[in-house]
Each structure stands twice: as structure tokens, then as C-alpha cells.
Amino acid sequence: MTSTAQPAPTARSEVSVPSAPHLGRVVFITAAAAMGGFLFGYDSSVINGAVEAVRGRFDVGSALLAQVIAAALIGSAIGAAIAGRVADRIGRIPVMRIAAVLFTVSAVGSALPFALWDLALWRVLGGIAIGMASVIGPAYIAEVSPPAYRGRLASFQQGAIVLGIAVSQLVNWGILNLAGGDQRGTLAGLEAWQWMLGIMVVPAVGYFLLSFTIPESPRFLISAGREADARRVLAGVEGEHGGLGTRVREIETAMRTEHRSTFRDLLGGRAGLLPIVWIGIGLSVFQQLVGINVVFYYSSTLWQSVGINPESSFFYSFTTSIVNIAGTVVAMLCVDRIGRKPLALIGSAGMTVSLAAVAWAFAARTGSGDDVTLPDVQGAVALVGAHVFTLFFALSWGVVVWVLLGEIFPSRIRAAALGVAAGAQWIANWAITASFPSLSEWNLSSTYVVYTVFALLSIPFILKWVPETKGKALEEMG
């Protein structure tokens, strides 16, 4: 997709701040578009409640099970790669509808698999929808938002993602309780885990219907030669004012003059890529290698593996998601006040200490098979440590990395560099997701020691290489 950033109004632009009715319309449009982010978070995390049931239903080992769980990430990379080009050809709204349909079909297929490969296929399809939603939501929101409110409205996407994660865990917990605490307990002819995966049809259909209530992006309309329609959309979100013609010309000028960066633009230096590109890759990789997605994909299994009953393990997955929301709100409020680097350093230090505490606690695990326990003290430390880790991640790296990736690259390479950094993130995400079940069977405590080491290494990485971008214009980068 072409760059979604629009130039800030010049002194000659007669752009007014939207009136209250128009601002309400903008908030509704943004919230509707952010439903894609909600489904992103929901679909990414809902598998958490089905892991052990899928293991039992299809009698698979940890290594193969991990590949099924991680299959969605393959689809996510595909969806993210194609969403931009498709959106430039057919529009942002049609891509939202395609993603909604894929979410719906994936939910139904995942709930009714007849074999393990069949489930993996539906996971890949859902992953494609995740990838498309991860691209089209932020792009559309940036293009339709009035400049005065763009930053705050852009935060809707991240807020929707963490809300989707929390709701998926709450739904899983509710279904498990209805099934008497048995993930394979029967409810209306289907096992509990099938309901967990299938109920995503409801928000997916809602996303599809909401897409008919919001307008096409003015940027796409102008690119398609529909200037009158673009003016109507701008008037609808900003109100009628004399600067609409100037806004349209600004968008047209930006689209004519923007540089479409390619991978070749990223080459340079002794390491093959420009140093700033390696910094972006490092940010993306460290964000995943601390093991955050173990919390979202495997926390129910994790707690059961140390002797906690299924109902409690599902409840702790939900409370962790609430902590994730709280931390994300803190980050949104602080990232412009404290700065990117200080917030990231605070997060790295907090994650290092909390992960080390969890690793220490898990070292006390005794027993084997279904007869596994943690001593009371270590059990409490593990629970508190996991929640503290999630909090420090959410208030720092969960938000700061995306802010930095949008700011650190010079404009001439920004689009291509973001693509490379995002690709590195998907790969690191896949590596952690696919390896955790086998690593945890080998030694759960040592697995968390590895995550602790990566959290610790992120501190010198930030101090030495990551630039502070607070208060700097994008044009100053590079």
C-alpha cells in the first residue's frame, strides 16, 4: 500500500477542527474500522483455550501441535504482504470485507475440523485475515482521520487488539464453566473448544456489516479519480469549510511526489543493510523473543502444566489480558510525555526481573504427567510474575516498538523498511510460538531463563543503538 501519511496542513490551509457532531462521526468510523483490530486480537488469542483439547482430540505431540498453533502466523505474513497492493487496487473497504469473510470462514472451519491438517488449513486462512486487518485498519484510520485527532484515533487499533485478546479469554472461560470445566465437554452437540473457536463468527459478521456503514478512504477515492466523492467524505468527517479544496490538492500532491521505496533502497553498510534498518529489525525481534506470545497462545496450557486446574488457568489467562489492557492505556498516555527510550528501558528492566522470578518459580515444579504441582510460595511468585511481566511489556514494548518503527526511518525508505521490520517480527513470533511446547517439555524453567536473557539484552540494545524520536518531526529522521 502506498504511504498513508498525509502532509500536515500548511499555514495557507483552511482546515478547521471538526465540530462535535462531525467528531462523533469520526469516532464511529474509527471504531468500526478498528473492529478488524479486535478480530486480530481475538483470533490470535482464542486458540489459547483449545490447545490441550486439540492435543487430546487428535492425539498429537507437542512439536506437531505447535506447528498447528503457529500456522496462523504463516497466513498472517501472507495477508500483511498482499493487503496493501489489493487495497490500492480495489479500495480499503472491500479489503475489510474480504478479511471479515475470511475470519468468518476460518471460525466455522476451525470449529468443525475433521483432521489435524484441516484445522491447520483453517488456521492459515484466519491468519491471512489477521495479516490483512493488521495493515488495512491503521492505514484506513490514518487516511480518514482529521489531522488534529489522528494520533489519538490511531490508538483505537491497538486498543481494539488488546480488547479482542481479553474478550477471547473471557469467552473461553465462560464456555469452559458451562462445560463443567472440561475443554472437551459437550455443549449442544459440540465440544467446548469447538465453541471457543467458532463463536468468533459473531464479531466477524459484525465487522462485515459495519463496513457498509463507513465511507471509502478519501486518499483512495482521489487515486481513483473520484474527487467529488473524496470531498464528501472529508466534509463528513471535518465539516464543510473553505479548506477542503486545499486538502484535496495536498493529498494529490503527496501521492504524486511520494517515493515508493524498494528493498534496494535499504542496502548499504558493511552488514548488508543500512544500520537504521538493523535497528528496526532488532526492535521487532526483541519484542517477540521475550516470550510475550507464550502468554497469549499458551497461558492456559502453561498454568495447567504446573498443576493449576483448567477453570483457574482460564481465569488467569483472562486476568492477564486485563493487565495487558491497563498497561497499553498507560503506554498511550506516557509515550509522548516520558519518551520512547525511557519507557522502553523501564519495560525491559521490569520484564527482566519478572521473567527471572517466573523462571525461579518454575524450577520448583515437581511431579510428572497430570500429577504436577508447584509449592505455594513458588506458585504465587509465578502468577504474580507473569502478570507483572505482561504489565511491563504492555506499558512499554507493546506500544513503543510500533511508535518507533513509524518514526525512526527516513521518509525515502520508510515503507520498505517497515515491511522488512514487520516481516522479522512475524518470523520471530513464529519461532517463539512453534518452539515453546517442545522447550517447555524439555525444561520449563530454562525456557523462561532464555526469555529473561533476551529481556536483559534489550537494555544495552536500547541504550546504544535506538534513537529517541520524541518531539522530532519525521523529516528530521535520517
**DSSP letters spanning 203-263:** HHHHHHHHTTSSPPPHHHHHHTT-HHHHHHHHHHHH-S-TTHHHHHHHHHHHHHH-----G
Distance CA 260, CA 276 (A): 18
Q: How many CB atoms lie within 10 A of CB 275?
A: 12
CA-to-CA distance for 370 and 86, rounded, in angstroms? 48
Amino acid (one-letter) located at 325: I
Predicted pLDDT at 113: 94
pLDDT in tens, 114-123: 999 999 999 9
Report the DSSP beta bridge partners of residue 186.
Answer: 191
Buried b (16+ CB within 10 A) or exposed e, 414-439: bbbbbbbbbebbbebbbebbbbbbeb
H-type alpha helices, 363-471: 376-394, 397-407, 414-465
DSSP per-residue letters across 409-426: S-TTTHHHHHHHHHHHHH
Residue 422, amino acid: A
CA–CA separation, 171 vs 196, rounded Å?
7
Query: What is the tens place of the pLDDT at every residue in 127-184?
Result: 999 989 988 888 888 788 776 676 677 778 878 988 999 999 999 999 999 999 888 9
pLDDT attached to residue 150:
67
Residue 8, pLDDT > 50, answer no
For residues 30 and 217, the answer to whether their CB atoms sit within 8 Å is no
Give how far the C-alpha of residue 102 lies from the chain's centroid of Cα atoms, to the nearest Å.
18
**CA atoms of 246 and 261, how far apart (whole Å):** 27
pLDDT in tens, 216-225: 988 888 888 8
CA distance 133 to 72: 13
Residue 117 CB neighbour total at 10 angstroms? 11
Distance CA 112, CA 110 (A): 6
Question: What amino acid occupies position 362?
Answer: F
The Cα–Cα gap between 110 and 113 comes to: 6
Calculate the average pLDDT of the chain: 85
Instruction: Answer whether residue 399 shows pLDDT above 70.
Output: yes
Q: Please write the tens of the pLDDT for every residue from 341-394.
A: 999 999 999 999 999 999 999 998 886 666 678 888 998 999 999 999 999 999
| C-alpha cell at position 323 | 493487565
Nearest Cα to 304, choosing from 294, 292, 314?
314
Give the closest residue to 348 by CA, choosing from 297, 421, 397, 388: 397
Cβ atoms of residues 264 and 43 within 8 Å: no
Give the pLDDT band (50/70/90) at residue 4.
very low
Regarding predicted confidence, which is higher, 229 or 263?
Answer: 229
pLDDT tens, residue by residue, 40-97: 999 988 998 888 899 899 998 888 988 998 899 889 889 888 888 888 889 999 999 9
C-alpha–C-alpha distance, residues 389 and 354, integer Å: 5
DSSP track, 131-181: HHHHHHHHHHHHHHS-GGGHHHHHHHHHHHHHHHHHHHHHHHHHHHHHTTT
Which residue is associated with the grid cell 522470578?
357
CB 200 within 8 A of CB 107: yes
Q: What is the CA radius of gyration of the chain?
A: 23
First to last CA, the chain: 22
Please report the pLDDT score of residue 472 as a whole number. Answer: 66
Backbone angles phi, psi at 242, to 5 degrees: -70, -10
Count the alpha carbons within 13 Å of 65 in the hemisphere toward its beta carbon.
23
Cα angle for residues 187, 192, 194 (degrees, 5° grid) = 105
